[in-house]
Amino acid sequence: MAINGKNRYKSLLRFTTAGSVDDGKSTLIGRLLYDSKSIFEDQLVHISESSRRLGKDEMDLSLLTDGLRAEREQGITIDVAYRYFATPARKFIIADTPGHLQYTRNMVTGASTADLAVILIDARKGVLEQTLRHSYIASLLDIRHIVFCVNKMDMVNFSSEVFFTIKTRLEKLAGQLAIPDPHYIPISAKYGDNVVEKSSAMPWYQGKTLLHLLETINIPVSKNSCFPRLPVQTIIRPLNDEYHDYRGYAGRITGGTFKTGDEITALPSMFKSKIKTIEAGGKQLSEAGAGESVSVTLCDEIDISRGDLIVHTSNIPKSSRELTAMICWFNEKNLRNGGRYLLRNHSNETACIVKSTDFRLNINTLEKEPSVEEIKMNDIAGIKIITAKTVFYDSYKDNNVTGSFILIDESTNETVAAGMIN
């Protein structure tokens, strides 16, 4: 894998899985962990004991992912669980999210940090409304790589005809949603066909197994390659003799590359300066790119504080006090039209008012339903927001850090919505 330059690929792949319990999602994850030898002996003993206690004949691998007492008791996944496994080729983080309609918000949460989504389809049932929903959420969150796994091939006699019929439907869907990099694999999670090992029952499938695809798929280190942005988290001021005048602007670069000597502009002040040094943990760097936590010093003393953005002077983000965005509503209390919330994007915070809710998305048909009265938990909607101070942002498709935000209810302090700026 190339290490330098723009063609760096991730050696740590974060992916999310979508599909309900009936689709065999837990079995698939269990299979990946089991076949990659990531389940430990004491965990296996534990799971088989628990399975027996719950009166199950076979070992239930979902007990591995369902970590909370309530989840085990009710046999459902309530919350996002994170799983880790590694092969000699790559490290993986799975955000395992529940697939039911009422858990749309958990899928959005899991998808927000994923590079790739694995979407399960039951070969007997084909493309269902939920397949549409899962694919849509993945595309809304701008996940560019989607692996459609047509599961339970063993229950349709490993029929190529069944697979290719479903694949044709999925290709159409991927086209509609403009998914840049879709993949299609016929699998049987239960028996392991095409999960880790190639299936001998499906010689007509010439492609990669799921694990092999996950190990080899090229995913750039950051999808925000073009827009150099450094949101300032905190200011580092040692105030000692050795570093008397040191003022480091600390943050994680969210897009593009910064080099020493670069002309920069600080927002919102619009003051200009040049980058004097870039440091990471005491090490001097000549350049740093998206994803790196750094501290930069500038040639001039200008006023910069937390929440400000340092950007290339040649590439200034958009600025406005009115935002149009897609949101997913997370809270039991409905969205209040005209309501006041706190908006946070990257390290910046401002009060805001929801000016209008323009439509709610029917997530099963992907139709926009206009003139909605209330936006409820798990709804996805298009809204307009007026902010108290000017927000500097990029469109979510261009930069998923400067283009995303959360809304906070000031009375409860809860995170009530996730937003993606158009």
Partner 1 sequence: MIINSEHLKELENEAIYVIRETAAQFEKKVILFSGGKDSIVLVHLAKKAFWPARMPFSLLHIDTGHNFEEALSFRDNLARETGVELIVRYVEDSIRKGRVAEEQGINASRNKAQSVTLLDAIEELRIDAAIGGGRRDEEKARAKERFFSHRNEFGQWDPKNQRPELWNIFNGKKHMGEHFRVFPISNWTELDVWQYIMSEKIELPSLYYSHKRKIFNRNGVYLAWAPFMKLRPEEKVFEAEVRCRTVGDITCTGLTLSKADTLEEIVAEIAATRITERGGRYDDKRSEAAMEDRKKEGYF
Binding residues among 215-274 for partner 1 as defined by CB under 8 A: 233-234, 236-240, 242-243, 246, 248, 250-252
- Please, what sign has the CA dihedral across residues 154, 155, 158, 164? negative
Positions in 297-316 near partner 1 (CB under 8 A): 306
Q: How far is CA 36 from the centre of its chain?
A: 24
Q: Classify 380 as helix, strand or coil.
A: strand
Using CB under 8 A as the criterion, what x/- string covers residues 107-136 for binding partner 1?
-xx--xx-----------------------
Structural contact between residues 90 and 117, judged by C-beta atoms closer than 8 angstroms: no
DSSP 154-168: GGGTT-HHHHHHHHH
- Asked if 330 interacts with partner 1 (CB under 8 A), we say yes
Q: Which is nearer to partner 1, 73 or 263 (CB)?
A: 73
Closest separation in Å from C-beta 128 to partner 1: 26
Q: Out of 35, 51, 79, 132, name the contact with partner 1 by CB under 8 A.
A: 79
State the burial class of residue 206 (Cβ atoms within 10 Å of its Cβ: 0-12, 13-18, 19+).
exposed
Q: Which is nearer to partner 1, 366 or 408 (CB)?
A: 408
Closest separation in Å from C-beta 242 to partner 1: 7
Q: Which is nearer to partner 1, 182 or 307 (CB)?
A: 307
Which residues are registered as beta bridge partners of 146? 117, 182
Q: Which is nearer to partner 1, 78 or 101 (CB)?
A: 78
By rule CB under 8 A, what count of residues binds partner 1?
Answer: 73
> Cα–Cα distance between 32 and 255 in angstroms, integer?
32
Phi, psi at 362, each rounded to 5°: -80, 105
Q: Out of 1, 270, 299, 351, name the contact with partner 1 by CB under 8 A.
A: 1
Q: Which is nearer to partner 1, 312 or 346 (CB)?
A: 346
Q: Whose CA is closest to 247, among 295, 318, 207?
A: 295
> Cα–Cα distance between 143 and 327 in angstroms, integer?
16
Q: Classify 128 as helix, strand or coil.
A: coil
- Asked if 162 interacts with partner 1 (CB under 8 A), we say no
Closest separation in Å from C-beta 1 to partner 1: 8
Q: Which is nearer to partner 1, 98 or 182 (CB)?
A: 98
> Cα–Cα distance between 248 and 181 in angstroms, integer?
40
Positions in 363-422 near partner 1 (CB under 8 A): 400-401, 404-406, 408, 413-415, 418
Closest separation in Å from C-beta 29 to partner 1: 12
Part of the chain binding partner 1 (CB under 8 A), chosen from 122-130, 162-170, 184-192, 344-352: 344-352
Side by side, the strands of the sheet bearing 145-151 are: 81-86, 91-96, 12-18, 116-122, 145-151, 181-186
Q: Which is nearer to partner 1, 240 or 371 (CB)?
A: 240
